[in-house]
Amino acid sequence: MLTKGIITKINSGTYTVLVDDNIYYDCSARGKFRNNKITPVVGDKVEINTEDKVIENVLERKNYLLRPPVANIDIALIITSIKSPNLSLTLLDKLISIITINKIEPVIVWTKLDLASKKELKEINKLTKYYESIGIRVFNNKKINKLKKYIKKKLVTVCGQTGAGKSTLINRFDKKLNLETKEISTSLGRGVHTTRIVEIYNLNDFNIIDTPGFSAIDISSYSLDEIKNSFNEFKRLKCQWNNCSHVKEKGCQVIQKKNEGYILESRYNSYLSFIEELK
């Protein structure tokens, strides 16, 4: 008899599969997955044989991310600190694009607002309004209940720079969790990777995955069209030119609206830097 479940953890060849939201089975995977070039990942819906404790089938994926290796994600929380590590709008926009291209909903979560100056907070308010205006939800790690409500019943992953506060946020979701968090090494200005294994934490209302942070991510494996379409504000404008790259074409709607101040300068600059990476 085959039973359906979801992979919550993979640790040196052992796949932990959650069935019916309450029973965990430690399973192995059949060799045929390796031959079919399917590598089961955390978040995969699978069929297991509960007697042999073997994964027999990996069911079709809704989406799949390579880094972190996860599948079937509903929402990716982009954990974005204002200070230490400093805010990088290029990285934020890059994560938004990659997540959008992979058919996952990006959600911004500001952290370390307590370390920001008045002026910086004002800037954050402006950014929040802009991102909301293009259809992206924005939260912060102080108003945790609002965020909890939004991700109810979803499979959620966190992403963002090392040291941004991902594990700290997940710990606040549930006091029983005690994920290791690390202070940023001040001399290097770089965080220490404390999260090594990708694992789904099954909390009362939702499932969440902690991941090691990453600072350098590659957008060059995507196409120009995919990158263009990942900018909601460009799509809405419907530039009249079919193949417009929105860089220097005459009569381009995107360039015009940017010059009129309707498109955030940093967003447009992020876009330019991404398509530069394609070359």
Ligand X SMILES: Nc1nc2c(ncn2[C@@H]2O[C@H](COP(=O)(O)OP(=O)(O)O)[C@@H](O)[C@H]2O)c(=O)[nH]1
- Given a contact cutoff of 8 angstroms between Cβ atoms, the answer to whether 95 and 78 are in contact is yes
Which option in Zn ion, ligand X, Mg ion, none does residue 191 bind, with CB closer than 5 to 8 A by kind?
A: ligand X
Q: Which residues in 186-201 are b (16+ Cβ under 10 Å) and which e?
A: eeeeebeebbeebbbb
Among 114, 187, 204, 216, binds ligand X (CB under 6 A): 114
Among 48, 101, 239, 264, binds Zn ion (CB under 5 A): 239
Which option in ligand X, Zn ion, Mg ion, none does residue 246 bind, with CB closer than 5 to 8 A by kind?
A: Zn ion
Name the one range near Zn ion by CB under 5 A: 26-34, 71-79, 146-154, 238-246: 238-246
Which option in ligand X, Zn ion, Mg ion, none does residue 163 bind, with CB closer than 5 to 8 A by kind?
A: ligand X
Q: Is the peptide bond before 85 cis (omega within 30 degrees of 0)?
A: yes
Least distance in angstroms from the C-beta of 196 to Mg ion: 9
Residues 6+ positions from 188 with CB-CB distance below 8 Å: none
- Given a contact cutoff of 8 angstroms between Cβ atoms, the answer to whether 98 and 159 are in contact is no
Which option in Mg ion, Zn ion, ligand X, none does residue 141 bind, with CB closer than 5 to 8 A by kind?
A: ligand X
> Could you give the CA distance from residue 241 to residue 252 in angstroms, rounded to a whole number?
7
How many residues are present in the chain?
A: 279
Q: If binding is defined by CB under 6 A, does position 8 make contact with ligand X? A: no
Q: If binding is defined by CB under 5 A, does position 195 make contact with Mg ion? A: yes
Least distance in angstroms from the C-beta of 173 to ligand X: 12
Helix, strand, or coil (residue 155): strand
Among 68, 163, 227, 228, binds ligand X (CB under 6 A): 163
Bridge partners (DSSP) listed for residue 71: 64
Q: If binding is defined by CB under 6 A, does position 181 make contact with ligand X? A: yes
- Cα separation values, 146 from 138, 139, 142, 149, 150, Å: 10, 8, 9, 5, 6
Q: If binding is defined by CB under 5 A, does position 254 make contact with Zn ion? A: yes
Q: If binding is defined by CB under 6 A, does position 88 make contact with ligand X? A: no
